Amino acid sequence: MKSCINILGIGHAFPENLISNELFFDLASSAGNSKESEIFQEERISAEAARRTVLDIDYLRNTGNRDTWQSVHNMSDTPTNLAERAARMALERANLKPEDIGLVIGDCITPLETTPSEGQRLAGRLGLKVPSFDLSTPFGALALQLEALNMISPAKLPDYVLLVSANTPTTRVNYSRGQADALYLGDAAAAVVCSYNQRAGIKLKEIACWQIEREEFFCAPLYGEIDFKYDVFKKVTNNLSSFILKEDSSADLVILPELFSLKLRPLIKAQTITTFEKVGYSLGAAEFIPLSLSWQDLSSMREIEVNVFSGDRLLKLKLEGKVV
Amino acid sequence: MGHAQPTTVITNKFIEDLGVGTTAAWIEEKIGILTRVTSLPLEYIVETKNSDPRKATAVASTSPYELGLKASQMALERAGIKGSEVGLLIVNCCTPKFIAPTEFQKIATALNVTGSAYNVFTACPAFALHLDFINSFRRENLPKYVLCVSTATLTHHVNYNDRTDGAIWGDGAAAWVVSTQKNGRLNLVYSSFMSDPTRCDAVVVDTFKYFRQDGRAVRNFSVMQTVKLVKQLEDRFDINWERDIFIGHQANKTMLDQIINNREIPSSNHWYNVDRVGNQAGAGAPAVISENWDKIKSGSKIAVAVVGAGLSWGSALFEVV
């Protein structure tokens, strides 16, 4: 589907605390018969890899977050704090103030409060009295928000819209089990300021999507711990490979679905960047973190391709860098 | 449209007998609710007062997903379509039990929905938000059928030691199938959605603990904002309260009575269910329409005004075909 959305600014935020590989193996060693070393080798995770977490590191060392319920009392940052920092960065890059925003759409599936919505919490932090709600999903939320925005009549939209995704999945990981989810997941937020009417920034030219078979590899009750089915995850990775390989990308920069980026990266020729090994997979924000980190360079690029896994679809966002 | 609710009933006498400092008479006088429905066993409430909300999920007879699914099945049957014909599923759930797969993913899988699915969430005014959200799409971008669901089990987040919260909430779900390509019994004439997030802390559901609200401020907001919404509909459209129906947010009956008195809406044309099922959050108002599905009269209008967490509010006006 063609798009007329202009992306005026992208921002990101992640917590300061890092779960290094060393810490991961220390925490996993109590699990005994675990597969963490195998997964580490198979996923080609580098020795320098780390994941961002809102969890206090001392708490993590002492407990492994065995009782994930206790995470809420041992956090040095929150989803809404991350969302606010990402949003303010996006606004600054868009050269806008919060009061310029006419609509806020949020995403957080690891909230400290299930009500109000994350969009409303963020809008409240920014002092806004505008329509705000959440459009959320475990995977690819920011891309789905852009897709929904693209389907809305421009006449129904304000000049500037703020989209945000902020998640803290590490709070639901039991690190003493030494499972794959502990290697992959990280906490972060990303925000996008966009507009139909105001031509600036980079242009979202097109959103394409392919249906893929829905496989439940990531299961997490709200009050329990994540169950990451590594064998099913490998199957999904193979499914995605066939879609990624369908056509050679002519883009100057390709962002791959972050969760699968290490395995998919060797398959493509185009330049690609990933922050998976610096941040971990942060659910809805993930693919927009490398975009935000590359913000200064994007406007000089002819085409940027962002591939986003959304659970049962692969979305391909084609962006065009524009000189403002 | 469809609705679903658990079968366990909490009476005012039950709450009085919990010994938390309230009486059946006080509850009926102040909030006008006589019974509410819950998925929690009554013995569990008596024994624990729900002191650890985590345990509520384990003992509950049903879940937001199961309620949402039942409501969806009713709505699909009334619409005469199968789940596989739904091109977009959007769900509002303020008491999710899963990070993944979420309630919307589970409903989509159970109904064989192959189109897009995601949460569109604002808690109580979800009916207005969903309609306004869909109404803002370019027609060519909408699939033939959209299924909207609002579901919650708020009794799981009630502190039954609190003398008011236990009297308010009920569990339940509602669903509605909308289309821009096929005529139905209700024609959406107007929708609106707005919010004031600077006041978003007034109504909170803590993920790990309880619901809490600034009761007085929220009550005043609810009445005033609903009256404003109704007046806006009256000013813009030909509404005749002798013929047309009003449905407000199903928060409490005494508030609704204040609103209908202010707008001079005869009680015969004021539909509600809060006195029987409690405040079902976003499911409340649409469940009222669903419960009265066989009573809606051609030629009349149904005006819905809903308010709630966020703080957010919205309205919808239907012509009955």
Q: Give the tens place of pLDDT for each residue, A40-52.
A: 777 777 878 899 9
- Amino acid occupying residue B154: L
Task: Please give the Cα distance from B202 to A259 (Å, whole number).
Answer: 37
Question: Please, which pLDDT band fits residue A36 given cuts at 50, 70 and 90?
Answer: low
Across the range A19-42, mean pLDDT stands at 74
From the list A112, A121, A221, the residue facing B200 with the nearest CB is A121
From the list A123, A152, A219, the residue facing B101 with the nearest CB is A219
Residues 6+ apart with CB under 8 A from A208: A1, A315, A316, A318
Neighboring chain A residues of B121 at a CB cutoff of 8 Å: 117, 133-136
Q: Which residue has the higher pLDDT, B141 or A46?
A: B141
Two tokens, residue B173: 């779900």
Across the range A167-194, mean pLDDT stands at 91
Tell whether A67 lies on the interface with B, counting CB pairs under 8 A.
Answer: no
Looking at the DSSP assignment, which residues form a beta bridge with residue B190? B317
Task: Please give the Cα distance from B115 to A223 (Å, whole number).
Answer: 29
Task: Please give the Cα distance from B124 to A88 (Å, whole number).
Answer: 29
List pLDDT tens digits, range B242-274. Answer: 999 999 999 999 999 999 999 999 999 999 999
- Tell me the C-alpha to C-alpha distance, in Å, between residue A258 and each of A282, B69, B156, B172: 9, 32, 36, 37
Q: What is the mean pLDDT of chain A?
A: 90
Task: Please give the Cα distance from B153 to B64 (Å, whole number).
Answer: 6
Mutation target for B interface from A112, A114, A196, A228: give the one with most B CBs within 10 A: A114
From the list A129, A214, A222, the residue facing B207 with the nearest CB is A222
Mutation target for A interface from B118, B136, B203, B315: give the one with most A CBs within 10 A: B118
Which of A30-34, A271-275, B155-159, B163-167 is the least confident region?
A30-34
Neighboring chain A residues of B117 at a CB cutoff of 8 Å: 137
Two tokens, residue A10: 């992208």
List pLDDT tens digits, range B44-85. Answer: 999 999 999 989 999 999 999 999 999 999 999 999 999 999
Helix (H) or strand (E) holding A59: helix A57-63
Residues 73-132 of A with CB under 8 A from B: 104, 109-117, 119-124, 127-132
Find out whether A255 and A304 touch, Cβ atoms under 8 Å: yes
Q: What is the mean pLDDT of chain B?
A: 96
Mutation target for B interface from A103, A110, A115, A314: give the one with most B CBs within 10 A: A115
Two tokens, residue B217: 């401020």
Residue of B nearest to A137 (CA): B118
pLDDT at A323 over 70: no
Sign of CA dihedral A65, A69, A70, A76: positive
From the list A147, A172, A311, the residue facing B99 with the nearest CB is A172
Two tokens, residue B130: 């969903």
From the list A112, A115, A151, the residue facing B203 with the nearest CB is A115
Task: Please give the Cα distance from A81 to A195 (Å, whole number).
Answer: 24
> Which letter, b or e, does each residue of B27-61 get, where b requires 16 or more Cβ atoms within 10 Å of its Cβ?
bbeebbbbebbbbbeeebbeeebbeebeebbeebe
Question: Please, which pLDDT band fits residue A197 given cuts at 50, 70 and 90?
Answer: confident
* Burial of residue A22 (number of CB atoms within 10 Å: 0-12, 13-18, 19+): exposed
pLDDT of residue A262: 87
Residues 6+ apart with CB under 8 A from B43: none
List pLDDT tens digits, range A81-131. Answer: 999 999 999 999 999 999 999 999 999 999 999 999 999 999 999 999 999
pLDDT at B216 over 80: yes
DSSP secondary structure letters along A71-107: GGGSBSS-HHHHHHHHHHHHHHHTT--GGG--EEEE-
The answer to whether A115 contacts B196, with C-beta atoms less than 8 Å apart, is: no
| Whole-structure pTM value | 0.97
Question: Please, which pLDDT band fits residue A324 given cuts at 50, 70 and 90?
Answer: very low
Tell whether A2 lies on the interface with B, counting CB pairs under 8 A.
Answer: no
- Amino acid occupying residue B1: M
DSSP secondary structure letters along A196-234: SS---SEEEEEEEEEE------EEEETTS--EE-HHHHH
Question: Please, which pLDDT band fits residue A315 given cuts at 50, 70 and 90?
Answer: very high
Across the range A125-152, mean pLDDT stands at 97
Find out whether B127 and B285 touch, Cβ atoms under 8 Å: yes
Across the A:B interface, residue pairs with CB atoms under 8 Å apart total 156
pLDDT of residue B228: 98
* DSSP strands (E only) in chain B: 2-4, 8-11, 35-38, 88-93, 98-100, 116-121, 146-153, 171-178, 186-195, 203-206, 211-213, 245-248, 301-308, 312-320
Neighboring chain A residues of B153 at a CB cutoff of 8 Å: none
The answer to whether A133 contacts B201, with C-beta atoms less than 8 Å apart, is: no
Query: Phi and psi for A123 in degrees, rounded to 5?
Result: -60, -35
Task: Please give the Cα distance from A274 to B109 (Å, whole number).
Answer: 31
Could you give the count of Cα atoms lying within 13 Å of A202 in the half-sphere of its Cβ? 27
The answer to whether B197 contacts A128, with C-beta atoms less than 8 Å apart, is: yes
Across the range B169-185, mean pLDDT stands at 96
| Spatial CA neighbour of B234 closest among B301, B186, B298 | B301
Residues 155-174 of A with CB under 8 A from B: 156-157, 169, 172
The answer, yes or no, to whether ipTM is higher than 0.90 is: yes
Per-residue DSSP letter, A172? G
Across the range A211-222, mean pLDDT stands at 88
How many percent of chain B have pLDDT more than 90?
96
